[in-house]
Amino acid sequence: MEWKAMRRGRKLLSSYFDAQYEYKHLRGIIYIFLTIILVTALTGCGSANTRQVLSKNSAEAVRQSHWIEDIDYLQENLPKKHKNMYHSIKKEDFDKEIMSLKDEVPSLKDYEIKTRLAQIVASVGDAHTALNLSSNNNLSYPVILYWFDKDLRIVSTNKDKKDILGKKLVKINNIPIDEIVKKIDTMISHENNQWVKVMDVNYVTNPDVLKSLGITSKDTIQLSLEDDNNKITQVDLNPGTLNPDNAIRIIDEMQTKPIRLQFNNNFAETLYCYKYIPEDKTLYFQYNQCIDYDVAKSYGFKNYEAYPKFDKFSEGLLKAIANNNVNKLVVDLRNNTGGDSRLMTSLVSKISQIDKLKDKGKVFVIVGRETFSSGVFAAIDFATQTNSIFYGEPTGGNVNGYGNVGALTLPNSKLQISYSMNFFELSDRFKDSFIPDKIVEESFDNYKKGIDDVYEAIKAYKN
């Protein structure tokens, strides 16, 4: 009897819950039906303003949904693809930042969400894992900036702003540049401060970044500029383009250009080039990118046929060394941000076998803040295989660290995020940057005169 009573009780209870479910389900259908009728009435008979409001609300809902999908996609896939995602940040901290951003999506503009995403990706703690907003956004203020020691100088702008060329940027909208850079640096994926100096100049000129960080609320900004006499002037600047036909650069004002700026007459020379300087008995070799025809083809570059063959270039370089009175070989890696490290490894091996370059004081390698990734690999190749002496600045890339880049594309915004697939340990001699034997920083006074401080220091070396 007890079992029968219990079964009847459960049956009655089940019937009750079924009825409740059917009621709620029916109520939901009725609600949706009434909503459809209301929307139809409003859009069919209502005012244009009402239709615009409904359309705007619908578009906003889609916008938010798309950003949430992108953020979820990042959270799920970046840890899967990265070699060791949580080497510098705890998983719970990363997830906390992700959840915080998702909660704030409704109150944030698109450019603010992008900035937050860049900060989250930068928190991973390796320079190859990055959301580079400067490559995802063409909007910019028409100036190019460069750090000379602690001074941020304008090295290029449009011709109608010629009077600001070379001046030091000290404030934007009355906010000291040091404060602005400190905020910007939270967005930059880096392993050392040298790489920050390379990247932050791109964001100082990005209107969306400045808005996101509270530097400005409008497109127009006011620059406070200091000249060489310490006189401060204010200049208003609007976003615009900086194209070669309308641009003016400090290097255009130089009466004589240093050897490092005497190339770039064609695409191949932007990658690598060399020149024998008879008065110095020096062969200068500039190596800017670790890429050639075969590498570009293997990477699937559509324009791979435009790239030169590095083995053919190397043959010409080695012949120039053999056929000239070369007392010094200068290898300039200052602008080398990477590529395929195998190209230089093979060439360095051949250079190491040249008798007249075997002694110390014969091979000099220049490194700098833009020496990164496979550019650092090239420096290590020279350090381990030759008696090279190194000049310049500490490198922007670490000697030991994460690299070999893959790309993650967010499904809706199409933002591209790079990530590291391997860890490389090249030397136990350096903790972070590759540190040259002789640190030589470029001075602004000599730069505008066309004097290369680093090359001049090497030229002065007596062997």
Backbone dihedral region of 373: left (phi > 0), alpha (psi from -120 to 50 degrees) or beta? left
262-273 pLDDT, tens per residue? 987 789 999 999
313-364 pLDDT, tens per residue? 999 999 999 999 999 999 999 999 999 999 999 999 999 999 999 999 999 9
HEC per residue, 196-253: HHHHHHHHHCCHHHHHHCCCCCCCCEEEEEECCCCCEEEEEECCCCCCCCCEEEHHHH
Residue bearing the bigger pLDDT, 158 or 49: 158
Give the pLDDT of residue 4.
Answer: 37
310-323 helix and 342-351 helix, angle to the nearest 10 degrees: 20
CATH number for the 137-247 domain, one of 3.40.190.10, 2.30.42.10, 1.10.3720.10, 2.40.40.20?
2.30.42.10
As a whole number, mean pLDDT of residues 153-175 equals 97
26-57 pLDDT, tens per residue? 444 444 444 444 444 444 545 666 555 556 68
Which residue intervals of 149-215 are DSSP H helices?
A: 177-184, 193-204, 207-212
199-216 pLDDT, tens per residue? 999 999 999 999 999 999
Q: What helix, strand, coil percent values describe the chain, rounded to 5?
A: 50, 20, 35
Rg of the Cα atoms in the chain: 29
Q: What residues contact residue 79 under an 8 Å CB cut-off, 6+ apart?
A: 85, 86, 91
Q: What is the pTM of this model?
A: 0.85
Question: pLDDT at residue 407 above 70?
Answer: yes
Give the pLDDT of residue 343.
Answer: 94
Tell me the residue type at 76.
Answer: E
Q: Residue 12's pLDDT band (boundaries 50, 70, 90)?
A: very low
As a whole number, mean pLDDT of residues 443-456 equals 96
CA distance linking residue 389 with residue 379, whole number of Å:
10
- The hierarchical CATH code for the domain 254-397+433-459 is 3.90.226.10
As a whole number, mean pLDDT of residues 178-195 equals 97
Mean pLDDT of the chain: 89
Block residue for tokens 């080398």: 336
In terms of Cβ atoms closer than 10 Å to its own Cβ (0-12, 13-18, 19+), residue 42 is: middle
Give the pLDDT of residue 399.
Answer: 94
Q: What residues contact residue 249 under an 8 Å CB cut-off, 6+ apart?
A: 144, 155, 156, 165
As a whole number, mean pLDDT of residues 156-168 equals 96
390-405 pLDDT, tens per residue? 999 999 999 999 999 9
Question: pLDDT at residue 24 above 80?
Answer: no
Percent over 70 (pLDDT), the chain: 87
Specify the range with the lowest mean pLDDT, choosing from 57-66, 134-143, 295-304, 431-440: 134-143
CA distance linking residue 78 with residue 444, whole number of Å:
41
What DSSP element (H or E) covers 43?
Answer: helix 2-45
Cβ atoms of 203 and 182 within 8 Å: the answer is: no
Q: What residues contact residue 461 under an 8 Å CB cut-off, 6+ apart?
A: 328, 361, 364, 389
227-255 pLDDT, tens per residue? 999 999 999 999 998 888 899 999 998 98
CA distance linking residue 375 with residue 393, whole number of Å:
13
CA distance linking residue 381 with residue 222, whole number of Å:
46
Give the pLDDT of residue 115.
Answer: 97
Please state the domain extents for the chain: 1-46, 137-247, 254-397+433-459
As a whole number, mean pLDDT of residues 149-168 equals 96
As a whole number, mean pLDDT of residues 288-317 equals 96
